[in-house]
């Protein structure tokens, strides 16, 4: 976005004079140069991996077709295998304990069972839901799409490396604002059109790359600023603190819900892939034996005052609670009946309770923000302890989720994907033109740092 400094853009600072336009320009130019020097390779990395991730679902369906797709039953209305049979087949193929179950999102898709092995590893087992036949295994979140996502955030390499992404986002914001200042036309519009709205010269000339960098920058800069800001919630330091603050001030998690429920102490994100706003919240805890009756009475009292807590009167949950022995967790087939009645968006995931105070959790994280939903079920009664959707988030939570949804290419369908693809190509062009411009401008044997202001 920068344009090389020339004497026509301000000249030299007069001795003893106050701060001049020339010295400000030189200072901004140096900041822009150093910011670009620091993050240019990272911006190219983020743009390339980000463009690939926009199409991660299509990539996975092609690369892992043998695991993710199954034949559609020939006979309409054919009953699939029981959910318990799908889990049993997965555990027979990969011994351990299951921690995640994702029924098929549509006909022709496989079911996925997350299994924690005796060694503590997490494995994804893919099963044909029609006959409970195991199709194969991968490491949990081991598809090519998830690998691209971890490469994009540098999570693949560890927390220290992820800090570089946070640094790149911060410096990218500085790049945009300093670049805008350097691009801003000075003098008459006709005289400053080159490098503002038009590109002069040929690729053999430095002025061509300078103008290409400036014109591309003003178009791409707004998108780059948006991506930098909406990407910050995933960062190591800023993102963690922002999430903690949002949930601690009722901007993300609705006020009054957590304190009205017993808590398990189990972080929700340990078990499910969730919206950013909910990743630091805890799972509610199932009522203990001695408190089940008191909790039921307390829940009845709160029914009219808390729309997030649903009590399932007349449901399978009540009959199961009545007929089952005390403190006996519901089986998966009964739980799935309850979850299906809640009508979560296809592609939802169910997580089992962790310990005696744990809960069954059903979560849906589809492209449509309005359908985001997390439901916690008491493992003994099947009663939903909490039912939360996007509309229940606080204002900051809703804004952040909306920005993240666009960042992921999910908000406006194909248009969102094409927009992000064009933006990523523009970022690469911006970085390449800036590097070429610098290489052509730098003195032989030197770095070519812009001159110090007076």
What is the mean predicted confidence (pLDDT) over 14-26?
Answer: 69
- Mean pLDDT (the chain) is 81
pLDDT grade for 276, boundaries at 50, 70 and 90: low
Higher pLDDT, 243 or 297: 243
- pTM for the complete prediction? 0.79
- pLDDT tens figures, 210-223: 999 999 999 999 99
What pLDDT is stored for residue 261 in this prediction? Answer: 46
State percent of the chain over pLDDT 70. 75
Return the domain boundaries, the chain. 28-39+156-251+413-443, 65-142, 253-393
More confident site: 382 or 323? 382
Does the domain at residues 65-142 carry the CATH identifier 3.30.70?
Answer: no
Q: Quote the CA–CA distance of 276 and 297 in Å, as a whole number.
A: 33
Does residue 277 surpass a pLDDT of 60?
A: no
Per-residue pLDDT of 64-74, as tens digits, reads 999 999 998 87
Pairing type for strands 133-139 and 384-389 reads: unpaired
Tell me the pLDDT tens digit for each residue of 344-378.
999 999 999 988 888 999 999 899 999 999 899 99
Kindly give, in sequence order, each residue whose CB lies less than 8 Å from that of residue 385, ignoring residues fewer than 6 positions away. 261, 284, 286, 309, 359, 376, 377, 378
Q: How many helices (H) and strands (E) does the chain have?
A: 13, 10
CB 363 within 8 A of CB 274: yes
326 neighbors 95 (Cβ within 8 angstroms): no
Looking at residue 282, its pLDDT comes to 58
Give me the mean pLDDT over the 281-304 stretch.
Answer: 47
List, for residues 312-321, the tens digit of each pLDDT value: 433 444 444 4
Reported as a single tens digit per residue, the pLDDT across 430-440 is 999 999 988 88
Q: How confident is the model at residue 78, as a pLDDT?
A: 77
pLDDT at site 274: 58
């Amino acid at each position: 976005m920068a344009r090389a400094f020339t004497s026509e853009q301000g000249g030299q600072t007069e001795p003893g004079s106050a701060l001049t336009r020339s010295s400000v320009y030189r200072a901004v130019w140096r900041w822009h140069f150093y910011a670009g020097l620091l993050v240019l390779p990272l911006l190219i990395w983020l743009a390339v991996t980000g463009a690939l991730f926009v199409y991660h679902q299509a990539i996975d369906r092609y690369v892992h077709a043998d695991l993710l797709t199954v034949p559609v039953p020939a006979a309409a209305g054919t009953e699939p295998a029981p959910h318990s049979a799908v889990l049993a087949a997965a555990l027979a193929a990969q011994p351990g304990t299951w921690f995640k179950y994702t029924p098929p999102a549509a006909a022709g898709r496989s079911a996925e069972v997350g299994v924690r092995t005796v060694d503590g590893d997490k494995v994804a087992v893919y099963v044909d839901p029609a006959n409970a036949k195991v199709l194969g295994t991968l490491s949990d979140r081991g598809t090519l799409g998830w690998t691209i996502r971890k490469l994009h955030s540098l999570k693949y390499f560890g927390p220290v490396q992820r800090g570089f992404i946070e640094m790149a986002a911060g410096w990218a914001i500085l790049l945009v604002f300093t670049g805008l200042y350097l691009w801003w036309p000075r003098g008459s519009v006709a005289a400053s059109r080159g490098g503002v709205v038009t590109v002069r010269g040929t690729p053999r000339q430095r002025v061509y790359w300078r103008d290409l960098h400036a014109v591309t920058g003003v178009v791409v800069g707004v998108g780059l600023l948006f991506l930098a800001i909406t990407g910050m919630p995933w960062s190591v330091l800023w993102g963690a603190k922002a999430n903690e603050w949002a949930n601690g001030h009722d901007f993300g998690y609705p006020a009054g819900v957590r304190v009205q429920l017993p808590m398990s102490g189990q972080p929700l994100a340990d078990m499910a892939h969730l919206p950013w706003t909910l990743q630091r919240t805890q799972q509610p805890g199932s009522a203990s034996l001695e408190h089940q009756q008191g909790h039921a009475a307390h829940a009845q009292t709160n029914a009219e005052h808390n729309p997030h807590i649903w009590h399932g009167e007349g449901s399978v949950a009540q009959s199961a609670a009545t007929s089952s022995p005390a403190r006996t967790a519901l089986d998966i087939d009964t739980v799935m009946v309850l979850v299906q009645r809640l009508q979560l968006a296809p592609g939802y995931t169910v997580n089992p309770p962790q310990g005696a105070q744990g809960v069954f959790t059903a979560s849906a994280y589809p492209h449509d923000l309005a359908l985001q939903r997390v439901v916690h079920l008491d493992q003994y009664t099947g009663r939903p302890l909490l039912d939360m959707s996007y509309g229940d988030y606080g204002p900051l939570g809703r804004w952040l989720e909306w920005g993240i949804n666009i960042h992921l290419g999910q908000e406006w369908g194909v248009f969102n994907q094409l927009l992000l693809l064009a933006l990523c190509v523009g970022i690469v062009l911006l970085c390449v033109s800036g590097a070429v411009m610098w290489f052509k401008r730098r003195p032989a044997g030197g770095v070519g740092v812009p001159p110090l202001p007076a």
